[in-house]
Amino acid sequence: MIPFPDLLLVVFYAALAALLVAAVALGLLRLLRSRSVAIQLVVVAAATVLATVSGILVISFLMLINQHDRSVVLAVVTSAGLVGTLVSVLLGRRLVAANRVLVDAVRADRFHPPTAHLPAELAELSRELEAAYDRLAAAHEREQALEASRRELVAWVSHDLRTPLAGLRAMAEALEDGVVADAGTVRRYHGRIRVEVERLAEMVDDLFELSRIHAGALRLSRERVGLAELVAEAVAGAEALAQAKGVQIRGDVRAGLPVHVDAGELGRALRNLVVNAIRHTPGDGAIEITGEVAGGEARVTVADACGGIPEADLPRVFDVAFRGEAARTPGGGAGLGLAIARGIVEAHAGEIGVANAGPGCRFEVRLPLTA
Question: pLDDT for 110-163, tens place per residue?
Answer: 778 887 777 777 888 888 888 888 888 888 888 887 777 777 777 777 777 777
Across 51-60, 204-213, 349-358, least confident range: 51-60
Per-residue pLDDT, 43: 78
* SS3 state of residue 371: coil
Whole-number Å distance between alpha carbons of 240 and 263: 21
Residues 273/363, Cβ–Cβ less than 8 Å: yes
| pLDDT band at 63; cut points 50, 70, 90 | low
- Alpha helix (H) residue ranges in the chain: 4-31, 37-62, 67-107, 120-177, 183-214, 227-245, 263-280, 337-347
pLDDT of residue 352: 92
Confidence at 363, pLDDT banded by 50, 70, 90: very high
**Residues 265-321: pLDDT tens digits?**
898 899 889 988 998 888 888 899 988 887 778 889 999 988 888 888 888 888 776
Q: What is the pTM of this model?
A: 0.57
pLDDT of 2: 60
Longest dimension (CA), the chain: 132
- Return the half-sphere exposure (C-beta side, CA atoms, 13 A cut-off) of residue 126: 20
DSSP summary character for residue 274: H
Calpha distance 153→226 (Å, rounded): 35
pLDDT more than 70, % of the chain? 89
Partners of 286 in beta bridges: 248
Q: Give the Cα separation of 175 and 178 in Å (integer).
A: 5
CA distance 153 to 18: 73
> Of the spans 88-97, 322-331, 335-344, which averages the highest pLDDT?
335-344
| Summary mean pLDDT of the chain | 80
CA distances 65 to 57, 62, 263, Å, are 10, 8, 93
**Angle of helix 183-214 versus helix 120-177 axis, rounded to 10:** 170
Share of the chain above pLDDT 90, in %: 4
Higher pLDDT, 48 or 348: 348
Q: Which residues pair with 364 in a beta bridge?
A: 301, 353
Residue 336 to residue 154: CA distance in whole angstroms: 12
Contact 290, 304 (CB under 8 A): no
How many Å apart are CA 319 and CA 339, to the nearest integer? Answer: 6
